[in-house]
Structure formats: C-alpha cells, structure tokens
Chain A
Amino acid sequence: MMADTAASTGSSNPATAKIDVRGVSKRYATDDANTPPVLDDIDLTIGDNEFVTLVGRSGCGKTTLLNIIGGLVEPSHGDISVNGRLVTGPGEGKGMVFQQHALFPWLTALHNVGFGCRNNGVSAAESDRISRQLIELVGLQGFEDKYPTELSGGMQQRVAIARALATDPEILLMDEPFGALDELTRLEMQDELLRVWSAHKKTVVFVTHSISEALVLSDRIILLAARPGRIRREFIVPFPRPRQRTDPQMIALYDEIWRNLA
C-alpha cells in the first residue's frame, strides 16, 4: 500500500496539464555566488482541477515557487505555462490567497470580494450579485457591510478566499492561507475550503508547513528540500474525502512524509 502512494513523478496526464513548470530556478540578486539557489531546476506538472500542496521546511522556496507560478516573481531560469501559454505576469485567471489576508481595509467585505470584478469592467450590480453569492458560499451572510478590521481572523480569510474566487480564476494559489489562524479555526477553514473547492472545481496549489493539513486537503503532496530548493519527493494521497485525520492509513502516510522531511 505504502509503495503505491509514493510516486516519483507527476501522475497527471500531460494532455490535461493545467500548469507546467519547466526547469525553474531562482536566485535572488542579493545572494552571493556561493549560496545555493532558492529553487534549483524545478519540473512540475499540475493537472486540471488537481489539488496540489507544496510542503517543506522554512526557506525551501515553496512560497517563491508559488509566487513564480502566480507571475508575481520572475524565475532566474526556466518558465511556467498555464494551459500551454507562457505566464508573463500576475492576474489572467490566477487567483491568490495570502497568509495575511491582504484585504483592502477601506472596503467592506462585499466590496473587497467585488474588487476584481469592478476593476475588470463588470457592472456594479453584477459584481455585487457575484460577491453576495460568494459571501454566502463562505458562510458570511450578514457581514457584507463590515470592514476587515471588524472581522475575526477566520472571517477575514474567508473574505480573502471569496475575493480570489470572484473573478472565477481557473487556478487558485494559496500561500499558507490558514497559517495565522488558531487550530480550531484552521480545521474549520480546511473543511470550508474543500466544500468551496467541490462547489467550484479549480486547480489549487496550496503552500503549507503542516503535513496533516496537506494530507486532509490535497490529491498530491510535493515535498521540497531547502537550499538548493528541489523537489525531494511526491506523494499521492489516494483516500476519498472527507478524510479522517485519525485514519491509520493517513497516519502511516503522515509518518512516511515526516521521515522524508527530517
């Protein structure tokens, strides 16, 4: 069983590849020549509607890789394509959720969610309609007119997720979105995210420190090694959702990932 769950290369069919990372390396201008690169020759193919998690120690470059996929950071070498087209910048069907909610403090929850629509030529009425639907989807009815400072951490992150979904991107990039939340809220948000994901099928790339979070959420876990940042190993998580954290198979896989991380 365990042997089957650990695949060495991407399992997704290249014909349905959504995101294609080819030979991506990243070295920061401030690094001296002897420092190993943050990312070193990363190849990764992510399938349509696949939920992939990047896991690794701090400094392994998982956030950098996510930002490169998102078009926010340029790779030193290599390239990224989405649907076969080269990524040249942010936007264009790639929604992002950050560790800090990054909501616009001067806008209400409703207007934060509708911000992308409003600035991409969608009418106010239509963008409000979409925003209300998404606010309902993330369970925040009644909080439409609250400002971010008036919401709890979990609520803020729900708004951020709704905001990322509002422009209906094909890809959702999430950088430790629940990292700043308390444990209980975090578990709730994981369930919430899976519910949203099953309602709006998206390709998700999710960065986390937490192996158990990765196990609950993803189809595939990519374990990154630090400096030089390389893919150490990939794990398929074959269990049907919702997954029980206490399931013996889950625990066995957790242990295996943990051994590879240490």
Chain B
Amino acid sequence: MTGSVRWQDAALGVIGTGSLFVLWELASRLGFVSPNVFPAPTTAIIGTLRTVPLLDILGHVGTSLLRIIWGFALGVAAGTVIGIASGWYRAFGVLTKPVIELLRPIPPLAWIPMAIIWFGLGEPSKVFVIFLGAFFPIVTSAYKGMTGIDPALLRAAQTMGLRGPKLLFRVAVPAAMPDLATGIRIGWGLSFGVLVAAELIAADQGMGFMIMNARQLGQVGVIVFGIILIGVMNLITDYFIGAVIRRRIGRWHAV
C-alpha cells in the first residue's frame, strides 16, 4: 500500500468515527434521546472529569490493564506452547484437540463461578477469566498455523539436514507466525471483552468496576465515559500490538 492511500484510509476512518460522535452529540443535544438515559459524549466526558478525580480514573485504568496483561500473558504462553505442540506432535494433537474443541465454545463468563470457588475473590480469579478469553483464540490459531505449514518448506529444510527441534524452531514456528500473530491479536481483543465481567467478581478497582459502580450511583455519564474509555484503551493497545507484529513479520507477510 502506498503512503498516500494509507493516509487516505486513515482519514476516512477518522471521518467515519467522528461522524458517529457528531450524530450522537446532536441526537442528545436536540432532544431526540433523553440526556438522562443516553447523555451526549461531551456531557459524559466533561461531567465525569468534573466528578471523578483524574487519579481515580488512572487507577481504574492501571488496575484493569494489569489484570489484562497478566491474563493475556498467561494466555499467550499457554496457548502458544500447547497450540504449537499439538500441531507438531501428532499424538499430542490427537490427545488435546478434542479437549480444546470441547472447552472452546464455552463463554469465559460461564467460568466465573468456578473461578471464584477455585481462586477466591482476589486477583487470580479475574486474571483466570481474562486468561480464558486470550487462550482459546491463540491455541486454535497456533494449531492452525502449525498444521497449515507448506510441506515444501519442511522438505527443503530436511534436505539441508534439519530435523527434530531445529526443524521445529527454525522452520515450523517461524512459518506459523502469521497465524499465531492473528490469534494473539484476537486474544488481546477478547481479553478486553471479558474484562468488565471479570471485574464483576468483588472488585473495588478497574474500568469494569467503575462502570458498575456508576450504575448503582445513577451516574449515566460515568458509565458512558467508562465504555468509551474501554474502547479507546483497546484501540490504542491493539494499535501497538499491530505495530509490533508489522515490525516483526510485515516485511514478508501482508498483515
């Protein structure tokens, strides 16, 4: 893609998002929707910044990010190792694939009660639910990447004398990287997706808590602010992950 097309696309994206906010703002200001039920974005943001101290907001963001990073990191580690192993070692794949297929469709939220029983009400139960959100897309895409490797690449490496772990780490894993990267990105998104629910578990900090707490206090503006904040946080972090992936594999693989 040429530079100017990239800029054009970026500009169109900003225009699209901006239009949505303008429409929303107008709908609320012109009285199409009641500001008590659905306040305008500016009202929500300015109102929240006036009522909630900035340090508190940053505290919520930091707590949530820490949880997501923990859950996500564990999901990446477990998903990558298990996905690669099950795609490479046939017997291990036959053993693990049905288990993964059985557990995968279960929404991570359904595990919340179990998480509380296993890990109590502290941080580990929240991290566990976030972990589940990240783990399944990563393990599935790592497996897909490993089983979809062009056999010609493996043959070519074998003719150069590679076998065993060298063949795995020097050829198979790099060849599976594009699929793995896609899984990692989806996993990050899903980690965010289950965040609010995970923070329903007896939390007193975090963006999810901020939203739920605002509901009890009847602060609709804070709820709207929290929702926008989660979206923006996801957007920013996803952009960074995307940039890292592009840096690593963008030169040889269209991301």
Binary contact readout B159-200 vs A (1 if CB under 8 angstroms, 0 otherwise): 111110010001100110100000000000000000000000
- A148-166: which have CB < 8 Å to B? 148-149, 163-164
Which chain A residue shows the least CB distance to B162? A119
Inter-chain CA distance A163–B166, complex, in Å, is 18
What chain A residues lie within 8 Å of B249 (beta carbons)? 106
Q: Which of B160, B170, B174, B253 touches A91 (beta carbons < 8 Å)?
A: B160
The reply to whether B159 and A90 contact each other, CB–CB distance below 8 Å, is: yes
| Interchain CB contact under 8 A, B177 and A92 | no
B252 to chain A, nearest CB (A): 4
Q: Assign chain A's interface to a size class.
A: 20 to 34
B252/A72 in contact, CB under 8 A: no
- A103 to B174: give the CA distance in the assembly, Å: 13
Contact of A104 among B155, B158, B161, B174 (CB under 8 A): B174
Q: Are B170 and A119 in contact (CB under 8 A)?
A: yes
- A70–B152 Cα gap in the complex (Å)? 14
Contact of A149 with B156 at beta-carbon distance under 8 Å, contacts A91-B161, A167-B161 already known: no
Q: Is the interface of B mostly helix, strand, loop or mixed?
A: helix
Q: A72-B155, A119-B166 are in contact. List 13 more A-B contacts (CB 8 A).
A: A72-B158, A90-B155, A90-B159, A95-B159, A103-B156, A104-B175, A106-B175, A106-B249, A119-B162, A147-B251, A149-B252, A163-B156, A167-B160
Contacts from A to B (Cβ < 8 Å): 70, 72, 89-92, 94-96, 98, 100, 102-106, 115-116, 119-120, 147-149, 163-164, 167, 173
Residues in A neighbouring B204, C-beta threshold 8 A:
none
B161 touches A105 (CB 8 A): no
Distance to closest chain B CB from A152 (angstroms): 16
- Chain B residues within 8 Å of A116, by CB: 160-161
Is the C-beta of B153 less than 8 angstroms from some C-beta in chain A? yes
Contact of A115 among B155, B158, B160, B177 (CB under 8 A): B160
Q: Is the CB of A94 within 8 A of B170?
A: no
Q: With A104-B153, A106-B177 in contact, is A96–B251 under 8 Å at CB? A: no
> What is the interface of chain B, defined by CB distance below 8 A to chain A?
150, 152-153, 155-163, 166, 170-171, 174-175, 177, 249, 251-253
- Interchain nearest-CB distance for B109 vs A (Å): 37
CA distance A104 to B150 in the complex (A): 10
A148 near B160: Cβ-Cβ < 8 Å: no
20 A-B contact pairs sorted by A residue (CB < 8 Å):
A72-B155, A72-B159, A91-B158, A95-B159, A95-B160, A98-B156, A100-B152, A104-B157, A105-B253, A106-B174, A106-B177, A106-B252, A115-B157, A116-B161, A119-B161, A119-B162, A148-B252, A149-B252, A163-B160, A167-B160
- A90 & B158 in contact (Cβ 8 Å cutoff): yes
CB-CB nearest in chain A for B150: A102
B155 nearest CB neighbor, chain A only: A72
The chain A residue with its CB closest to the CB of B160 is A116
Known contacts A72-B159, A92-B161, A115-B160; A102/B152 CB under 8 A? yes
- By beta carbon, the residue of chain B nearest A148 is B252
User: Which of A104, A115, A120 lies at the interface centre, i.e. has the most chain B CB atoms within 10 A of its CB?
Assistant: A104
- With A115-B160, A119-B160 as known contacts, state yes or no: A102 contacts B174, CB within 8 Å: no
The residues of A that contact B159 with a CB separation of less than 8 Å are 70, 72, 90-91, 94-96, 164, 173
Cβ–Cβ < 8 Å partners of A100 in chain B: 150, 152
Q: By the criterion CB–CB under 8 Å, are B161 and A96 in contact? A: no
Query: 9 nearest interchain CB pairs?
Result: A91-B161, A116-B160, A102-B152, A96-B159, A102-B156, A90-B158, A147-B252, A105-B252, A106-B174
- B170 to chain A: closest residue by CB: A119
Q: Which residues of B contact A91 (CB under 8 A)?
A: 158-163
Best-buried of B150, B152, B163 by chain A (most CB within 10 Å): B152
